[in-house]
Amino acid sequence: MGLRCIQINLQHAKAASAVLSHRFNKEHLDIAFIQEPYIVKDQIKGLSGELIYDSSSEGRPRACIMINKSIITIPIPQYTNKDMVAAIIQLQTSEGRSEAVICSAYLAGDSADLSFTPLQDLIDYCGRTGRQIIISCDANAHHTVWGSSNINKRGEYLLEFIFKNNLEILNYGNSPTFMNRIREEVLDLTLSTSFIGNAIQNWHVSTETSMSDHRQICFDKCIESKLPLTYRQPRATNWDDYCLEISQMIRNCPNSIRDIDSLEISCNSLNATITTGYHNACPEKTKSGTMVECQALKAKNADQKTIQQSQAQWRLDLIPHFSNQLQYRD
């Protein structure tokens, strides 16, 4: 069981809207992520599903979501504007109710905001509320990482934004998502947080006629699929082995601190020692389960917290050790 999704920039075309609506209804699709919809008097027209977009702001909306009425949807107005729309979807699974955020965004090519502030605010919201997110966008940015023919400034900034927020690029291959008589390019991206990205399958650029310069992109979001999750269980850590290994490995850490560079080297070495010792004393395990099961397991996994606590304690314990070894040079 899953959600069947489609995304496209309609370039404000009535014909492209009709083609999308026909496919949405014929194939019983669940979610359509749309950029530059067909507009009449600042209102979106030509689409047959339930629409979510910002109808209150001035100017023509350049992003919307069309969704199957059977899906429980909660719009997020504080993170919705004419170029971006966000909503929470609620899905009922055998394990209970699951929530995720979906977003359709048009990233204007002439925008001076290379920090992508509205999108950053939405991602920060998802981080605070513990929700996963799927973002479908016309990025208007070039980078070879997602299959573009070249790299431009917007592409460099967008890639940095993606890495900074630990987002997954779900595009597969280098089939152009934009085609006209003179050029073809990959401009449309599907992004997600890593956990929900594991549940995205069958991402592809459709070869069907779209009646737009942009091609339709299709993908499925699985709900009940069994997903592999690699994790560590801190409660199973062999702390005797951990302490013994740390005691041995720490002897190899640089302990002669002469300047800022040597201090940085010592800190990095200490961090690597603590992390390696913990990983050796607490081997990885793999579990197969549904999204809900894996999410619950991931929430219980205190790996990073355990490492940070260990690092803090060892730094305190090592202050006398390093103090005795400090060599200051003018």
Q: Which CATH superfamily is domain 2-225 in?
A: Endonuclease/exonuclease/phosphatase (3.60.10.10)
Residue 108 CA to residue 193 CA, distance in Å, equals 22
Find the mean pLDDT for residues 93-105.
85
pLDDT of residue 48: 86
Tell the residue number behind the tokens 């310069």, with chain if given: 213
| Confidence category of residue 280, pLDDT binned at 50, 70, 90 | confident
pLDDT of residue 312: 47
Q: Locate 92 and state its tokens.
A: 């009922």
What residue spans define the domains of the chain? 2-225, 229-325
Q: Locate 204 and state its tokens.
A: 């592809």
Q: Are 98 and 90 in contact (CB under 8 A)?
A: yes
Half-sphere exposure of 118 (CA within 13 A, CB side): 21
Asked if residue 68 has pLDDT above 50, the reply is yes
pLDDT above 90 as % of the chain = 56
DSSP letters, 227-291, are: EEEEE--GGG--HHHHHHHHHHHGGGS-----SHHHHHHHHHHHHHHHHHHHHHHS--EEEEE-H
Lowest mean pLDDT among 82-96, 205-219, 283-297: 283-297
Lowest mean pLDDT among 58-62, 158-162, 231-235: 231-235
pLDDT of residue 136: 98
Q: Are 23 and 6 in contact (CB under 8 A)?
A: yes
Q: Are 24 and 48 in contact (CB under 8 A)?
A: yes
> Does the predicted TM-score (pTM) go above 0.75?
no
Give me the chain's average pLDDT, please.
Answer: 84
pLDDT of residue 299: 54
Find the mean pLDDT for residues 276-283.
86
More confident residue, 128 or 284: 128
Residue 191 CA to residue 89 CA, distance in Å, equals 17
The closest of 89, 107, 23 to 52, measured between CA atoms, is 89
More confident residue, 2 or 149: 149
More confident residue, 56 or 89: 89
pLDDT of residue 76: 97
CA distance to 53, 94, 211, 300, per residue, from 37 (Å): 10, 36, 13, 42
